[in-house]
Amino acid sequence: MRKISYQDFLRRKKPYFGFSPPFPTITFLFPFHCNKKLIFGDFEKCSFSSLCFVASDARRLAEVIKQALLVLCFLTLLIKWRKNMSAFIVTKLHIDLIVTVLAEKKCYSIKKVLEKYNHDFDKIGQILLDENYRSVNYRYSENDKTPKYKFAKYKGRISIGQALKALDCLDYQSCECSDYDDSEAKEIITTSQFFFLNEIKCRDLEYQKSEWCIYD
């Protein structure tokens, strides 16, 4: 078999197997046996078949890199999908449940909220939905328009725990904007949360048995 030197290899006009990188770099990264001797630059003793062997491994390396990039792209999409689950638009039924709770409860703090908005349940629901859309739009740099809200009484059973959890969910989905704590939606949600936390507290037997004031 005809021998080919490193200098002859570099003088080839066309790239070898589609590329022509500095060959010592490849052999440094991937030392191979050529004529049963380890190659680190002794190209005068390399046969053409040995060069083909090294080039073949370079192609395999390129394939591995390609597969790694595909995996990286997949992981990037997966992370983006998981991020998309961190904030979302709640359903109209979700808002209906919260507004129904506000309409039915007669405590002082909630009555103050209702009086502030003249018992306009459509407006209260719209405020909550607007803030939810504003939060998600800010989170994902979108510009979706908020649909018009029309209150419909929630017909299912609403437990205290369910009402509080629905409020907590809406609070979390609406909190992305930096001025959220000063918004009307936050005031409505916080007032309602405080009421239901007190309801749960007052129904807790451990709380009822506990001392009001701690004495020596």
Give 73-121 pLDDT, tens digit per residue.
877 776 665 555 578 999 999 999 999 999 998 788 899 999 999 999 9
Between the two ends of the chain, the Cα-to-Cα distance in Å is: 102
* Whole-number pLDDT of residue 187: 95
3 bridge partner residues = 47
Rounded distance between C-alpha atoms, residue 159 and residue 143, angstroms: 35
Phi-psi region of 149 (alpha: psi -120 to 50; beta: other; left: phi over 0): beta
Long-range contacts of 43-52 (CB under 8 A, 24+ apart): 43/5, 43/6, 43/7, 43/9, 44/3, 44/5, 44/6, 46/3, 46/4, 46/5, 46/6, 47/1, 47/3, 47/4, 48/1, 48/2, 48/3, 48/4, 49/1, 51/4, 51/9, 51/16
DSSP state of 86: T
At residue 139, φ and ψ (nearest 5 deg) are -65, -40
Residue 80 or 140, more confident: 140
- Strands (E) in the chain, as ranges, are 33-34, 37-38
Mean pLDDT value across the chain: 78
- Give the H or E element holding residue 200: helix 184-203
Residue 49 has pLDDT above 80, yes or no: no
Residue 118 or 22, more confident: 118
Rounded distance between C-alpha atoms, residue 196 and residue 166, angstroms: 11
* Whole-number pLDDT of residue 96: 97
pLDDT band for position 8 (cuts 50, 70, 90): low
* Whole-number pLDDT of residue 50: 52
